[in-house]
């Protein structure tokens, strides 16, 4: 059975705020939209978790489950607890290398925007930049929630902006629905499923002997008045070619 794991902090967990249930979360909505059965959608969000915490439980909560796909949103608590961008980036790189090294497809998501001061907005943005950078380095799909929410704020779309959160950063039911919609609209097709590539067809080149035999057979066919027997020889030799 195909499985998908969503790992990260309380925004991923979803159910600690605003009366959100498991089936309301963006993780569940993304999973079902991608065709996963409910039992095969694992939501491993831990409130207050950082990149170091996720790294420590990565084997148990992600790799040990042997999913096809792992979606990670982490970073907001690294920012709020003063973990340096350099340390966060190093941890995220290690997480990415372990997940991909285990044969699991990785998808990264940026955090939701924190509704606070301009200084807070700018400083959290540096962690989101690190997530984007790692997604490029490891060639994995990225769902840029942070940028989309920032765009709403810039466009003064405050009705949906405030309706989407229960506090400064955690999604409401409407926010989870919006995040799932963003994932669908901005992600490559099949971003949340593991696509097995078809092995290339190996075409063998004709040997020098094959080419020589065919040349002789064609000459005989032309010289001998295009006999049916000579044509049969040509067809037999031609069958040796790819």
Taking CA atoms, 64 is separated from 2, 55, 58, 106, in Å, by 14, 13, 8, 15
d(CA 46, CA 11): 9
Identify the residue with better confidence: 36 or 1: 36
* Average pLDDT estimate for 201-224: 69
Neighbours of 233 (CB within 10 A): 17
d(CA 44, CA 13): 7
Residue pair 143/182 in contact (Cβ under 8 Å)? The answer is: yes
Identify the residue with better confidence: 139 or 168: 139
Q: What is the pLDDT of residues 44-92, one digit of tens each?
A: 999 999 999 999 999 999 999 999 999 999 999 999 999 999 999 999 9
Residue pair 222/192 in contact (Cβ under 8 Å)? The answer is: no
E strand or H helix that includes residue 52: helix 51-56
Q: By percentage, how much of the chain surpasses pLDDT 90? A: 56
Q: Structural domain boundaries of the chain?
A: 4-186, 208-238
Taking the CA atoms of residue 115, residue 121, residue 127 and residue 132 in that order, the dihedral angle to the nearest 10 degrees is 90
Token pair recorded at residue 202: 């190996």
> Among positive and negative, which fits the CA dihedral 236, 238, 240, 242?
negative
Confidence of residue 39 (pLDDT cuts 50, 70, 90): very high
Task: Please give the CATH topology (third level) of the domain spanning 4-186.
Answer: Rossmann fold (3.40.50)
d(CA 1, CA 120): 43
Residue identified by tokens 């466009």 is 155
Q: What is the pLDDT of residue 148?
A: 86
Q: What is the pLDDT of residues 177-201, one digit of tens each?
A: 999 999 888 777 788 998 765 556 5
Residue pair 43/30 in contact (Cβ under 8 Å)? The answer is: no
In total, the chain counts a number of residues equal to 242
Q: By percentage, how much of the chain surpasses pLDDT 70? A: 85
Residue pair 9/47 in contact (Cβ under 8 Å)? The answer is: yes
Taking CA atoms, 33 is separated from 3, 40, 130, in Å, by 13, 13, 28
Q: Using the predicted structure, report yes or no on whether residue 152 has a pLDDT greater than 90.
A: no
pTM of full prediction above 0.75: yes
d(CA 214, CA 236): 9
């Amino acid at each position: 059975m195909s499985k998908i794991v969503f790992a990260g902090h309380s925004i991923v967990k979803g159910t600690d705020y605003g009366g959100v249930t498991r089936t309301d979360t963006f993780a569940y909505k993304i999973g079902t939209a991608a065709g996963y059965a409910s039992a095969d959608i694992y939501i491993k969000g831990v409130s207050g978790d950082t990149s170091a915490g996720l790294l420590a439980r990565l084997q148990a909560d992600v790799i040990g489950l042997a999913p096809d796909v792992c979606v990670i949103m982490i970073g907001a608590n690294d920012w709020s607890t003063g973990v340096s961008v350099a340390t966060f980036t190093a941890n995220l790189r290690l997480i990415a290398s372990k997940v991909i090294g285990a044969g699991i497809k990785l998808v990264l998501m940026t955090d939701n925007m924190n509704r606070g001061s301009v200084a807070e907005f700018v400083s959290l943005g540096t962690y989101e930049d690190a997530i984007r950078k790692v997604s490029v380095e490891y060639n994995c799909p990225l769902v840029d929630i942070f940028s989309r929410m920032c765009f709403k704020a810039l466009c003064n779309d405050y009705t949906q902006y405030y309706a989407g959160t229960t506090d400064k950063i955690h999604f409401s039911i409407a926010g989870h629905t919006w995040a799932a919609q963003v994932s669908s609209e901005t992600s490559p097709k099949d971003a949340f499923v593991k696509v097995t590539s078809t092995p290339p067809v190996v075409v063998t080149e004709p040997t020098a002997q094959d080419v020589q035999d065919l040349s002789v057979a064609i000459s005989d066919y032309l010289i001998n008045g295009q006999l049916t027997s000579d044509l049969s020889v040509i067809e037999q030799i031609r069958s040796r070619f790819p």
